[in-house]
Amino acid sequence: MKNFTVYLVILVFLFVSKVLGQETFESRAKQIADKIEKITKEEKAALKEEVEAVNVQLSEGKITQEQADKRKKELAEARAVIIEEKVTLAQNELNDLVQQKVDGKIQEQDSTKKHMLVIHWNDRNWEERKKVKDSIHGEKRTTSQFVFAMGLNNMMVDGKLQDSNYSFIGSHFYEWGFTYNSRLLKNDNLLHAKYGLSLMYNNIRPTDNRSFVVNQDQTNLEVNATNLNESRFRNVYLVLPVHLEFDFTKPTVSNGKAYFKTHKSFRFGIGGYAGINVKSKQILKFEEEDLKYKTTIKGDYNVNNFIYGLSSYIGYKSLSLYAKYDLNPLFQDNLVDEKNISLGLRFDLN
């Protein structure tokens, strides 16, 4: 675990700039964020015009105050539904974009260029949209979030990090999914149950020109006869994460009533996950006679069909440091039990 502390600095300053700071990903994500902002502004403007028209009818005596209030509520409900539908479409675009990034379909910009990620999540518009819904339906104790996590990956054997067998900087993990966050106490915001469904992508890159070779019930690292440019082993899991979350967001009071928000202050969660392996594959890249080759070999590789482990996160608002550790070994019957361990960043977006 000593190396994990050392690599934490590398994670924050190197990995984020390398993985997140990509021009294509940044520009497309910003377009989606701008689209969400535009949707909110347009619908609010339309609602304002409709409410003004109702006020004119009221001032002219064509409708009563009761009729005017009823009409305004109907208009607000209709616009809230329209905003929800349009923003959901934009969120789906973001989900597709993240999936493309995870699958490596988004081209990276030249690594020699300096870049800075600037994605504007307009919290005010999200809050205003939520206020419209809350005023109509009342406060909800359960909210939902889109979760995206990424970071560095490696293997542990008897409490020791296997960074000599696997490239620490080159081995990454990704996770994306949806969670529900339920406040456990009616009049206290501290304790929350957080649960959902996620896809986990665990990648490890063997060192010293090695790749995995299956020999009956054993899966071993062996030196490849070909000079490899890249050797990568990926496992994909469908998991159910469950956490007890401590949220230190203070309640806001309006008209004598306390409203409990989430993800507005410091948070930390402890829990775990369990799931199934849905895919294992090995990716090998090499060159021969000035020709580049990429070989993808799919199989079970004696990988455990199930996965379960412990996870925890601590952070501020939507961003957290995230760690997870598998309690069962990667391979079923290997003589040496190697267990996956990950450390990275986690985004919980309301």
Which contiguous run of DSSP H or E holds residue 314? Answer: strand 306-316
Between CA 169 and CA 153 the distance in angstroms is: 8
Six token digits for residue 132: 């419209």
Backbone angles phi, psi at 235, to 5 degrees: -125, 135
The dihedral over CA atoms of 262, 16, 152, 102, expressed in degrees to the nearest 10, equals 80
Question: Beta-strand (E) ranges in 158-290?
Answer: 160-161, 172-185, 188-204, 210-215, 218-223, 228-247, 252-254, 257-259, 266-288
First to last CA, the chain: 33
Query: How are beta strands 291-298 and 306-316 bridged, if at all?
Result: unpaired
Amino acid at 50: E
- Predicted confidence pLDDT, tens digits, the chain (350 residues): 445 444 454 454 444 444 444 446 667 777 777 778 788 888 888 888 888 888 888 888 888 888 888 888 888 888 888 887 887 787 777 777 777 766 666 654 444 444 444 444 444 554 555 554 444 444 678 999 999 999 999 999 999 999 899 998 899 999 999 999 999 998 898 999 999 999 999 999 999 999 999 999 999 999 998 999 999 999 999 999 999 999 999 988 877 778 888 889 999 999 999 999 999 999 999 998 888 889 899 999 999 999 999 999 999 999 999 999 999 999 999 999 999 999 999 999 98
Backbone angles phi, psi at 214, to 5 degrees: -90, 125
**Does residue 10 contact residue 107 with C-beta atoms inside 8 Å?**
no
For the chain, helix, strand, coil in percent to 5 are 30, 45, 25
Give the angle subtended at the CA of 249 by the CAs of 152 and 73, to the nearest 5°: 115
User: b/e map of 87-123 (b: 16 or more CB within 10 Å)?
Assistant: beebeebbeebbeebbeeeeeeeeeeeeeeeeeeeee
Only one residue has tokens 């104790």, namely 141
Six token digits for residue 165: 């067998």
